[in-house]
Amino acid sequence: METFYELVRGLMADNEQRIAEAINYKIEGSYDEAAAVLVSIIAEDDSNAEAHRQLGLVYGFQGMFDESLEELGKAVQMDDSRADMLCDLAMTHAMLGMYEEAKTEFLKVLSLDPDNKTAKEQMVYFSDLAPTG
């Protein structure tokens, strides 16, 4: 009989495989399929930050921007130490013309990862904005 920890490890590995499957769907442009896989993961484990992140990205590709920001925001709230998640949220804000939010998030990315290429490139566009804070 499996111990509780063995079961948890198995579920985590299974979710990683399912997230990889969803990413493949996303890359192929099969956004509905990707969203279905990610929604099912979240239904089982609402604390899976990577599933929320990927669902936010899928929603962005589908033009569901409110939902995209919500899911990306949840991912960042769950794990605000990941520069990649913050960068995704910042890029989405920038794409939607929410420049103050984007600038604030890119500054957070750079505080976590001073060499982050995307954040450094994007900050050039925000140099004319007044300091945030």
Same domain, 57 and 94: no
Does residue 120 sit within a domain?
Answer: yes
pTM summary value: 0.85
Same domain, 57 and 102: no
Say if residues 72 and 53 touch (Cβ distance below 8 Å): yes
Of 14, 33, 64, which residue constitutes the final position of a domain? 64
Of 12, 29, 64, which residue constitutes the final position of a domain? 64
DSSP one-letter string for 90-127: HHHHHHTT-HHHHHHHHHHHHHH-TT-HHHHHHHGGGT
Phi-psi region of 48 (alpha: psi -120 to 50; beta: other; left: phi over 0): beta
DSSP-derived secondary structure letter, 82: -
Does residue 73 sit within a domain?
Answer: no
Lowest mean pLDDT among 6-20, 30-44, 111-125: 6-20
Q: Which residue range(s) make up the domain with 24?
A: 1-64
Same domain, 49 and 89: no
User: Residue 14 — very low, low, confident or very high, per pLDDT cuts 50/70/90?
Assistant: confident
DSSP-derived secondary structure letter, 128: T
Task: Flag whether pLDDT at 41 surpasses 90.
Answer: yes
DSSP one-letter string for 12-70: HHHHHHHHHHHHHHHHHT-HHHHHHHHHHHHHH-TT-HHHHHHHHHHHHHTT-HHHHHH
- The total number of structural domains in the chain stands at 2
Task: Flag whether pLDDT at 133 surpasses 90.
Answer: no
Does residue 125 sit within a domain?
Answer: yes
Same domain, 59 and 4: yes
Same domain, 87 and 40: no
Does residue 9 sit within a domain?
Answer: yes
Better pLDDT: 53 or 7: 53
Per-residue pLDDT, 8: 46
Does residue 72 sit within a domain?
Answer: no
30: tokens are 């099969």
Which amino acid, residue 95?
Answer: M
Does residue 69 sit within a domain?
Answer: no
